[in-house]
């Protein structure tokens, strides 16, 4: 695309042109007679259509799928027309689940090209396939935009957003989808990560994404309050918004666009010379995401293939635990009567004196001291890699057996167990100092509680904590803390692993 003076059109203007074209396409589709009867009650706008004559088919049966800003509609194809549309609602609170799923003939799980929709309004989950010759980018695109509509309505209901601010949130999601469609006109579809370009999808995946949504809801409340005050005083600062952008382009979204065009959208928060609350949580989330990416790279680097190799790694990681378990089993079976007798008398005395809490506290303190000392002495030194004896290669029959579904599931289970153990090894060896400090501090706090609080109160608090964890007053805080703990765990890198040949292990034993 060249200008009159043989200069390229600026990329920004080209993007705006494509976005404007997508908005016009959405307006044309929404004004058409397509599903007009079912869309009329909620004034739904059509965001995407697939499975028509000019596009690839969509399979639940062969038909057409249509996404609006409230629901997904599927119409099975007849000889000369389409069947009555099936409605898969994305706006109401129906405990919806939208996930990728594997499909195949006779119930097999072969092709990764389908989307599963599940809700309490359906007796059986609906599976919609998006077939293509190579890859599953078409399915990924539809999965992302369906989730974007689902997540924006969850955001609206969770924070009880209404009026202009509700239309503003919907406009953000709609513009994000249209922007994604415009980007696909420029960039190869295979290189586009759809979920990373949609705001509510991204907030669902980012560490601290729930805090970003909470901050957005607070800003919306401030805007609504400021708009009410500005209506009374006739003044106030106004800013451009997603809803006003859509309205200025001649497209009505929601029921508050007319009032918005007359009054404008009031600025809810102004921060001069410092970051706003939204900028702060976004920056924190970005930093946390970088840590997660770095930790994930270490996790991917220590994963090994093969059930026998993973078993060898797990055996080496569990060697100290196995030795300790053998020692305890030896005491339990009284293999050495003197040792077993001494252990029994000491433990009985500790329990009778009420020193059991002190014992566990001392163990936690010693473990925390070991971690701190390990960090101090190993600071700046390379991390000791875990050396595992590489098992002999499998023969053809063993390789064929390994690809079976049961073996694959067992391998995945063991692999996940290795990652957990390697992360604990990383904590103990202080590979990630910040996580090690938090873990050591947690152990010290636990040691203090166990040391100074009577055991009956500990048992009582443990019961109350467990029993009331998902009660209505604590449900939100439990989910928040569970998410924080999960994000912290994902940010911990795994300890490195190297597979050494058996000769080196034998040479080491000889030395």
Q: Residue 19: is its pLDDT beyond 90?
A: no
Largest CA distance in the chain: 99
Q: Is the pLDDT of residue 316 over 80?
A: yes
- Long-range CB pairs of 404-411, under 8 A, 24+ apart, other chains included: 407/307, 410/307, 411/306, 411/307, 411/310
Whether residue 123 is predicted with pLDDT greater than 90 in this model: the reply is no
Mean of per-residue pLDDT scores for the chain: 77
Tell me the sheet residues that pair with 116: 99, 127
Res 227 pLDDT > 70: no
- Contact of 430 with 378, CB cutoff 8 Å: yes
Give whichever of 230-239, 337-346, 369-378 has the largest mean pLDDT: 369-378
Range scoring the smallest mean pLDDT among 101-105, 233-237, 391-395: 233-237
> What is the pLDDT at residue 438?
82
* ∠ CA 128-149-479, rounded to 5°: 100
Q: What pLDDT does residue 7 have?
A: 44
pLDDT, residue 9, reads 46
Supply the angle between the helices 209-233 and 164-186 in degrees, to the nearest 10.
Answer: 130
User: Which has the higher per-residue pLDDT, 28 or 170?
Assistant: 170
Model confidence at 153, in pLDDT bands (50, 70, 90)? very high
- pLDDT tens-digit readout, 413-446: 888 888 888 888 888 888 778 788 888 888 888 8
- Rounded Cα distance between 163 and 170, Å, is 11
Report CA-CA distances (Å) from 90 to 76, 95, 121, 344. Answer: 20, 10, 12, 62
Task: Please name every residue paired with 100 in a beta bridge, in sequence order, or none if there are none.
Answer: 115
The span from the CA of 254 to the CA of 244, in Å, is 11
Fold of 11-266: PH-domain like (2.30.29)
Q: Which of 160, 276, 271 is nearest to 215 (CA)?
A: 276
Closest by CA position to 67, among listed 134, 115, 123: 115
Considering only residues 353 and 138, tell me which one the structure prediction assigns the higher pLDDT.
138
The tens digit of pLDDT for each residue in 449-504 reads 888 887 777 766 766 676 667 767 777 887 888 888 888 888 888 888 888 776 66
- Asked if pLDDT for residue 318 goes beyond 90, the answer is no
For 286-324, b where at least 16 C-beta lie within 10 A, e where not — what string? eebbebbeebeebbeebebebbbbbebbbebbeeeeeee
What was the pLDDT predicted at 255?
Answer: 58
Determine the average pLDDT of the residues in 57-69: 75
Q: What percent of the chain has a predicted confidence (pLDDT) above 70?
A: 75
Query: Which positions ≥6 away from 15 have C-beta within 8 Å?
Result: 182, 183, 186
Q: Residue 96 — very low, low, confident or very high, per pLDDT cuts 50/70/90?
A: very high
pLDDT for the residue numbered 116: 92
> Whose structure tokens read 């080196």?
504
- Give the start-to-end residue ranges of the domains of the chain: 11-266, 292-510
Q: For strand 497-500 and strand 386-389, is the pairing parallel, antiparallel, or unpaired? A: parallel
pLDDT, tens digit, 9 for 90 and up, residues 297-307:
888 877 887 77
């Amino acid at each position: 695309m060249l200008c009159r003076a043989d200069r390229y059109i600026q990329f920004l203007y080209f993007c705006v042109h494509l976005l404007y074209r997508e908005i016009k396409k959405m307006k044309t589709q929404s004004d058409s007679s397509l599903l007009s009867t079912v869309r009329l009650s909620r004034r739904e706008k059509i965001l995407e259509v697939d499975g028509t004559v000019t596009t690839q088919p969509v399979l639940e049966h062969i038909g057409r799928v249509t996404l609006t800003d409230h629901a997904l509609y599927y119409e099975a194809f007849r000889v000369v027309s389409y069947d009555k549309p099936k409605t898969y609602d994305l706006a109401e609170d129906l405990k919806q689940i939208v996930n990728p799923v594997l499909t195949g003939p006779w119930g097999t799980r072969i092709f990764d090209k389908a989307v599963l929709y599940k809700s309490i309004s359906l007796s059986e989950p609906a599976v919609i396939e998006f077939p293509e010759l190579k890859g599953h980018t078409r399915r990924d695109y539809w999965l992302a935009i369906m989730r974007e509509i689902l997540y924006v309505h969850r955001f609206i209901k969770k924070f009880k957003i209404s009026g202009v601010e509700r239309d503003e949130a919907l406009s953000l999601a709609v513009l994000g989808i249209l922007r994604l469609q415009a980007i696909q006109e420029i960039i190869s579809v295979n290189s586009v990560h759809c979920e990373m370009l949609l705001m509510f999808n991204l907030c669902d995946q980012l560490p601290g994404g729930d805090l970003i949504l909470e901050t957005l809801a607070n800003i919306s409340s401030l805007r609504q309050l400021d708009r009410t005050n500005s209506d009374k005083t006739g003044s106030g600062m106004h800013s451009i918004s997603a809803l006003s952008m859509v309205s200025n382009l001649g497209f009505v979204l929601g029921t508050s666009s007319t009032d918005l065009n007359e009054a404008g959208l009031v600025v809810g928060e102004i921060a001069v010379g410092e970051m706003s609350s939204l900028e702060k949580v976004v920056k924190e989330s970005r930093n946390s995401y970088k840590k997660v990416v770095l930790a994930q790279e270490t996790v991917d680097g220590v994963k090994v293939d093969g059930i026998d190799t993973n078993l060898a790694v797990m055996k080496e990681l569990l060697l100290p635990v196995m030795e300790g378990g053998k020692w305890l089993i030896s005491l339990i079976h009284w293999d050495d009567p003197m040792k077993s007798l001494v252990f029994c008398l000491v433990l009985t005395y500790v329990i009778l004196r009420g020193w059991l809490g002190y014992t566990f506290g001392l163990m936690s303190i010693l473990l925390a001291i070991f971690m701190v000392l390990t960090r101090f002495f190993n600071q700046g030194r390379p991390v000791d890699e875990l050396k595992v004896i590489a098992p002999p290669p499998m023969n053809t029959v063993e390789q064929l057996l390994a690809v079976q579904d049961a073996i694959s599931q067992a391998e995945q289970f063991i692999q996940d167990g290795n990652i957990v153990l390697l992360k604990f090894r990383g904590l103990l060896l202080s590979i990630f100092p910040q996580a090690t400090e938090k873990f050591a501090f947690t152990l010290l706090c636990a040691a203090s509680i166990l040391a100074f609080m009577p055991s009956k109160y500990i048992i009582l608090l443990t019961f109350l904590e467990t029993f009331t964890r998902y009660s209505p007053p604590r449900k939100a805080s439990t989910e928040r803390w569970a998410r924080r703990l999960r994000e912290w765990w994902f940010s911990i890198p795994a300890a490195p692993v190297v597979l050494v040949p058996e000769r080196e292990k034998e040479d080491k034993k000889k030395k």
